[in-house]
């Protein structure tokens, strides 16, 4: 029996084994990170600048705009759903809100999805309650602009022109509307940063933003912005990448020897 046939016949079992291995490493490294084990992070200029901008937001009183994109938390299957990217956008939103605590208006979040809006409003409400400002208007911090890329881009464009924030950060699930927002906003904000995962949108944003992250670096945001628990998951991610690389190498050898047809 050929290797390919065996793999095809047991694909669900292999996926489950991969996930179980992932979970074991995840729990182990997250536990170690929480206990204070040292994790070496390479330099990432975008996240370093984000932390710097959070400090500047406190000093200047100007907000940072965080465009969380068109992704949704309501799930589904497909490349454009952006659930994981939206979770990361919310992580960045919460972390920057913590970092810029003390600022009059640290953040201005925008989204094209109602579930992301609800989660972001929850974050703002919790921070306001912790600061003894539970009565503050929530809609000043997070805004919704229609469940559609065109409506979202037009709304964000208008908001940026009116608010003139300290920086425009576009991080999450973004398509071509990311380029539209960034290019029409050059004169309104001194810094434009961000990141997204679809390869086609990444290419468009790369020419327009000052600094950006692509692919898996988007998911490393929490670890770089100081979330200790995320360090463990980042190590797991790197380790599982090595597992995938080794699997590819084994596949290449088997194919070369004629066992993989």
Of residues 40 through 59, those in contact with other proteins by CB under 8 A are none
Identify the burial level of 235 via C-beta atoms within 10 angstroms of its C-beta, where 0-12 means exposed, 13-18 middle and 19 or more buried: buried
C-alpha to C-alpha distance for 8 and 153, rounded to whole angstroms: 43
Site for other proteins in 85-104 (CB under 8 A): 87-88, 90-91, 94
Q: Is 236 in the site for other proteins (CB under 8 A)?
A: yes
- 26 counts as binding other proteins under rule CB under 8 A: yes
DSSP secondary structure code for residue 187 in this structure: T
- Of 120, 102, 127, the C-alpha closest to 66 is 120
Q: Does 218 bind other proteins (CB under 8 A)?
A: yes
Of the pair 13, 104, the CB lying nearest other proteins is at 13
Using the minimum distance from each CB to other proteins, give the nearer residue, 55 or 207: 207
Q: Which of 103, 95, 107 is nearest to 139 (CA)?
A: 107
Q: Which 143-162 positions form the footprint of other proteins (CB under 8 A)?
A: 143-147, 150, 153, 158, 161-162
CB 59 → other proteins: shortest distance, Å?
25
Per-residue contact flags (x/-) with other proteins for residues 119 to 148, judged by CB under 8 A? x-xxx-xxx-----------x--xxxxxx-
Q: How far is the CB of 122 from other proteins (least distance, A)?
A: 4
Taking each helix axis from N to C end, the angle separating 11-34 and 228-256, rounded to the nearest 10 degrees, works out to 150
Task: Tell me how far apart the alpha carbons of residues 146 and 88 are, in angstroms, rounded to a whole number.
Answer: 21
């Amino acid at each position: 029996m050929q290797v390919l046939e065996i793999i095809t016949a047991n694909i669900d079992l292999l996926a489950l084994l991969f996930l179980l291995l992932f979970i074991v490493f995840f729990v182990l490294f997250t536990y170690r990170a929480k206990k204070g084990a040292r994790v070496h992070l390479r330099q990432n200029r975008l996240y370093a600048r984000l932390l710097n901008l959070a400090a500047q937001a406190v000093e200047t009183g100007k907000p940072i705009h965080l465009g969380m994109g068109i992704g949704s938390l309501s799930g589904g299957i497909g490349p454009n759903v952006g659930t994981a990217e939206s979770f990361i956008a919310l992580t960045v939103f919460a972390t920057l809100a913590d970092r810029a605590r003390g600022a009059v208006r640290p953040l201005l979040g925008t989204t094209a999805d109602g579930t992301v809006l609800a989660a972001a409003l929850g974050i703002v409400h919790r921070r306001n309650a912790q600061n003894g400002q539970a009565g503050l208007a929530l809609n000043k911090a997070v805004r919704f602009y229609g469940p559609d890329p065109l409506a979202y881009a037009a709304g964000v464009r208008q908001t940026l022109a009116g608010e003139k924030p300290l920086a425009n950060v576009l991080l999450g699930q973004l398509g071509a509307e990311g380029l539209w927002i960034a290019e029409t906003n050059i004169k309104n904000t001194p810094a434009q940063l961000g990141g997204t995962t679809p390869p086609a949108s990444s290419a468009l944003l790369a020419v327009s933003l000052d600094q950006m992250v692509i692919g898996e670096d988007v998911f490393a945001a929490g670890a770089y912005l100081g979330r200790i628990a995320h360090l463990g998951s980042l190590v797991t991610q790197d380790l599982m990448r090595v597992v995938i690389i080794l699997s590819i190498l084994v596949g290449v050898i088997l194919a070369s020897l004629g066992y993989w047809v």
